[in-house]
């Protein structure tokens, strides 16, 4: 697909001689929302880490905005954002300092009003001067989502983002993802259950070493 925001071609990954999955291929256009499901241990988090450039696949190709992408590729700031299943933060920075760092690193200082709106939406306003280590798991997930959504990336990868959130925050996330997709962001998220308030344009299942598209 020439207009694909994210395209994956025959991706393979394994540990030693043991394959995790093989021949993974799919594409997402700008503005599409895709769900990835599958049993525990199927390799969903591993796939996300390959797509984000954190792990190197054994074979295959990943294209972001039409250009080949690996962990060594320098992307235009704001092109791709990834929220892993367990977000990590700097121990010596407060939440607001994390946000300021992300905005500066991506030359996105003009997105400060959007960041402040997202902090309010996710219930973090008034607590942004605390370090993430003082946050609950759900609050750390919210902070990671705020950092990613503030940038309005072309591709947004989210590994189990609704899992640590309460129902109200899950609905807020779904609304923000729908808004991001409306603005042209391609969204891929993994989930184990129904996602409140968000319907996918396409659904994929990773099982027994292969990715299939649900009809």
Distance of CA 79 to the CA centre of its chain: 12
Strand-strand pairing, 67-68 and 59-64: antiparallel
Beta-strand runs (E) in the chain: 4-15, 18-29, 33-37, 59-64, 67-68, 80-83, 155-158, 186-190, 202-207, 210-213
Give the C-alpha separation, 83 to 198, whole Å: 18
Query: Where does the pLDDT of residue 176 fall: very low under 50, low under 70, confident under 90, or very high at 90 and above?
Result: very high
Rounded distance, CA 188 to CA 81, Å?
11
**Residues 6 or more apart whose Cβ sits within 8 Å of residue 159:** 44, 45, 48, 82, 83, 84, 85, 189, 190
pLDDT tens for each residue of 12-34: 999 988 999 999 999 999 999 99
Instruction: Name the fold adopted by 4-90+154-213.
Output: Rossmann fold (3.40.50)
215: confidence class by pLDDT, cuts 50, 70, 90: low
Tens digits of per-residue pLDDT, 56-92? 999 999 999 999 998 888 888 889 999 999 999 999 9
pTM: 0.94
Residue 121: helix, strand or coil by DSSP? helix
What 3-state DSSP class applies to 212?
strand
Q: Share the mean pLDDT of the chain.
A: 94
């Amino acid at each position: 697909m020439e207009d694909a925001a994210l395209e994956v071609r025959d991706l393979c990954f394994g540990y030693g001689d043991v394959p995790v999955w093989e021949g993974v291929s799919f594409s997402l256009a700008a503005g599409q929302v895709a769900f990835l499901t599958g049993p525990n241990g199927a390799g969903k988090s591993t796939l996300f880490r390959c797509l984000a450039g954190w792990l190197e696949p054994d074979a295959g190709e990943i294209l972001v905005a039409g250009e080949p992408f690996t962990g060594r590729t320098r992307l235009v700031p704001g092109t791709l954002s990834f929220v892993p299943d367990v977000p990590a933060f700097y121990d010596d920075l407060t939440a607001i300092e994390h946000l300021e760092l992300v905005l500066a690193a991506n030359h996105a200082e003009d997105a400060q009003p959007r960041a402040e709106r997202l902090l309010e939406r996710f219930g973090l306003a008034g607590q942004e001067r605390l370090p993430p280590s003082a946050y609950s798991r759900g609050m750390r997930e919210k902070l990671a989502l705020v950092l990613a959504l503030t940038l309005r990336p072309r591709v947004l990868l989210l590994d189990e983002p609704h899992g640590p959130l309460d129902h109200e925050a899950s609905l807020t996330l779904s609304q923000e993802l729908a808004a991001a997709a409306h603005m042209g962001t391609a969204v891929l998220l993994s989930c184990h259950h129904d996602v409140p308030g968000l319907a996918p344009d396409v659904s994929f299942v990773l099982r027994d070493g292969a990715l299939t598209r649900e009809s």
